Amino acid sequence: MKILVPVKRVIDYNVKPRIKADGSGIDLANVKMSMNPFDEIAVEEAIRLAEAGAAEEVVVVSIGPAKAQETLRTAMAMGADRGILVETDDEVEPLAVAKILKAVVEEEGPGLVVMGKQAIDDDSNQTGQMLAALWGRPQGTFASKVEIDGDSVSVTREVDAGLETVKLSMPAVITTDLRLNEPRYASLPNIMKAKSKPLATKAPADYGVDTAPRLKLLKVEEPPVRQAGIKVGSVDELVTKLKELGISA
Ligand code: AMP
């Protein structure tokens, strides 16, 4: 079985995003970019499944600028076998990403697509669900445990009420939650080895997908600054203050 892992290059999770002065978006000039953290978890899970003998090949795919090659190389240094870069400088929305992934899936024929539950730049949480719908295959989202059993896969999901386990027939789409695993660090020898792993470059047009945005970004702004709190000396004072502020218990 082959496992396909879509990985997105996003602003590093440690970086505090700066908004452009005209409010037209986030300033990405000279900002550290990394693999989306949920996608690192997806790569790790795919590699573990391959190490356990459940898969023969892990293929990583990224849709983004030429620099997304670095993200693919990081995934290959962790252990993925080869990469596909679908190169575009445009901002690609989840529906277009899902359409491209569907075309890649048709070409590659994976038994599983393991991807992040959301990309931390746009927080859409849409692409996995859209891919499953376009592909007409089952989905197990927010996975905290994945177990392959013959032609099916059991996915334990983190839902509000606790943990839910679903059994999907493969091929299927799985999206990862934080507690699924702890991604490994790539060792220096593996970083060197990854440089010679195969990396194919394509364009969205090769898959017949129009990436023109359907949404118009109107404005990006900082959240309001939180007001400082005050300390009260007694319950009576607290009640008086709450009344003054018009807050009832
Ligand atoms: P989103 O729906 O944008 O929150 O993204 C969910 C997941 O879809 C991510 O964690 C990635 O696995 C995948 N994904 C989204 N955008 C891309 C992209 N441009 N290239 C590769 N994978 C992507």
Q: Bridge-partner residues for 163, per DSSP?
A: 158
Q: Torsion over CA of 82, 123, 89 and 43, rounded to 10 degrees?
A: -10
- What's the gap in Å between 8 CA and the centre of ligand 1? 5
By alpha-carbon position, which residue is closest to atom 8 of ligand 1?
Answer: 127
Q: What angle do CA 44, 47, 49 make, to 5 degrees?
A: 110
Each residue's pLDDT tens digit, 4-60: 999 999 999 999 999 999 999 999 999 999 999 999 999 999 999 999 999 999 999
* Cα dihedral across residues 117, 16, 160, 158: positive or negative: positive
- What's the gap in Å between 154 CA and the centre of ligand 1? 22
Probe target for ligand 1 pocket from 11, 35, 36, 72, with the most ligand atoms within 8 Å of CB? 36
Q: Bridge-partner residues for 62, per DSSP?
A: 85
0.85 surpassed by pTM = yes
Cis peptide before 171 (omega within 30 of 0): yes
| Alpha helix (H) residue ranges in 171-221 | 188-194
pLDDT at 116 over 70: yes
Ligand 1 atom nearest the C-alpha of 68 is: 20
By alpha-carbon position, which residue is closest to atom 10 of ligand 1?
Answer: 116
- What's the gap in Å between 231 CA and the centre of ligand 1? 44
- How far is residue 92 CA from its own chain's centroid? 14
Q: Bridge-partner residues for 34, per DSSP?
A: 10
pLDDT at 246: 87
Each residue's pLDDT tens digit, 131-140: 999 999 999 9
Each residue's pLDDT tens digit, 176-207: 999 999 999 999 999 999 999 999 999 999 99
Ligand 1 atom nearest the C-alpha of 64 is: 19
By alpha-carbon position, which residue is closest to atom 17 of ligand 1?
Answer: 8
- What's the gap in Å between 117 CA and the centre of ligand 1? 8
- What's the gap in Å between 130 CA and the centre of ligand 1? 11
Q: Which residues line ligand 1 (CB under 6 A)?
A: 6-8, 36, 38-39, 62-64, 92, 94, 97, 115-116, 118-119, 122, 124-128
Instruction: List the CATH code of the domain at 2-244.
Output: 3.40.50.620
Number of neighbouring beta carbons within 10 Å of residue 238: 13
By alpha-carbon position, which residue is closest to atom 23 of ligand 1?
Answer: 8
pLDDT at 223: 86
Number of neighbouring beta carbons within 10 Å of residue 69: 17
Q: Which two tokens stand for residue 246?
A: 């018009």
